[in-house]
Amino acid sequence: MNATPKALDAEYAELAIQTQQETQALATETTLLNPRFYTTDFDEMDRIDVTPVRAEWDKLLDQMRSDPNKAHFKKNAEWDADWDGMEPKLKREFIDFLVSSCTAEFSGCVLYKEMKRRGNNPDICELFNFMARDEARHAGFINDALREAGVAVNLGFLTKAKKYTYFRPKFIYYATYLSEKIGYARYITIFRHLEANPDQRFHPIFKWFREWCNDEFSHGEAFALLMRTDPKLTQSFANKLWIRFFLTAVYSTMYVRDHARPEFHKALGVDIEWYDQEVFRKTSTIARQVFPVELDIDHKRWMPNLRRMRDAFGVMDAGKKQGGLAGWIKSKRGAVSAALAFVSLYTIPVIRSEPPKNVRLEPVY
């Protein structure tokens, strides 16, 4: 059936409705795919002794103390946002992307600030203070961009309304290390792509990504050093299985989440599978600094099961929307299929390596 231009307009107008309320709900909601807020055993983290990595630690902290991005997160003449000229479907997905990024940045801020507040260990407190400072800037900058579209997230409200997930400190290290390094890889991959294709830069925020991702890179470095203070964290048999688990969960979640934004990636001129593989490859290469296992993303089971996972999430969503018994059955069928895809990804033989003696890396992409 052909839709008349008028009908299409109405459909797009519907899609474009993004109220303050919707945005807040989007940020507050806790689902498998949304960025979460975390809490942990802060006392245990406070007891970390960085002596084994002191030389590298001091160098990293000196760099953070010098605050290279102090003046970076300010709009200037380069900021040429045009929300009104944006195609409504794209606008909707882009807002979704910004809300999700803002929530993720702010989630880091809340966790790091809390560690700083509860801790007594001067090394740990100083580090977490710097990282909270950076994440507050990142979240604030994204929120400024959202405000221009009339849909800023109420961050103060979020700290109270959002559910917190408890993770033991070691899980915080694995998850946060990965999300910082993935954050770096995501931002730099988009930045480099748009550097080569400036006509596809549909919003100015991408121009800020290079310096921005260097902050994320440093945060990841800090977690790499923290993990190095206790060899068991990355070397014991059980922990290697956990690292594998986190790699699989974080990578597959990213794949499913990115595929929910086809218009956004189309506007950037980015093929989602290419982009995700590129980000996984960069992240995996960087993570050799501390993880002794790496996922084989070229394995023949990798891509088919990521796709299967994405489809399964689609079925789950459709079931939930449908409601009733039939919807419930559909959603459970999706959940089983997602679980099977996860098991298949998790059991792909890993690539093993010996992490180097010196942990520290520089951002080179």
Give the integer Cα–Cα distance in Å for 205 and 350.
37
Question: DSSP state, 34?
Answer: S
Q: What angle do CA 286, 292, 297 make, to 5 degrees?
A: 60
User: Does residue 216 bind Fe ion (CB under 5 A)?
Assistant: yes
Q: How far is the CB of 209 from Fe ion (least distance, A)?
A: 11
Q: How far is the CB of 138 from Fe ion (least distance, A)?
A: 4
Name the residue among 319, 315, 312, 299 with its Cα closest to residue 340.
Answer: 312
* Cross-strand partners of 39: 166
Q: Which part of the chain contacts Fe ion (CB under 5 A), choosing from 36-44, 56-64, 71-79, 214-222?
A: 214-222
Q: 139 or 315: whose CB is closer to Fe ion?
A: 139
Q: 184 or 202: whose CB is closer to Fe ion?
A: 184
Q: 130 or 264: whose CB is closer to Fe ion?
A: 130
Q: Which part of the chain contacts Fe ion (CB under 5 A), choosing from 2-10, 59-67, 180-188, 327-335?
A: 180-188
User: Does residue 181 bind Fe ion (CB under 5 A)?
Assistant: no
Q: How far is the CB of 115 from Fe ion (least distance, A)?
A: 13
Residue choice 37, 96, 101, 105 for contact with Fe ion (CB under 5 A): 105
Q: What does 148-189 look like in DSSP terms, one character per residue? A: HTT----HHHHHHHSPEEE--HHHHHHHHHHHHHHHHHHHHH
Q: What does 53-119 look like in DSSP terms, one character per residue? A: GHHHHHHHHHHHHH-TTTTTSS--TT----STTS-HHHHHHHHHHHHHHHHHHHHHHHHHHHHHHH-
Q: x/- string (CB under 5 A) for Fe ion, residues 133-162? A: --x--x------------------------
Interface of this chain with Fe ion, residues 109 to 138, rule: CB under 5 A: 135, 138
Interface of this chain with Fe ion, residues 219 to 238, rule: CB under 5 A: 219
Residues near Fe ion (CB under 5 A): 105, 135, 138, 180, 216, 219
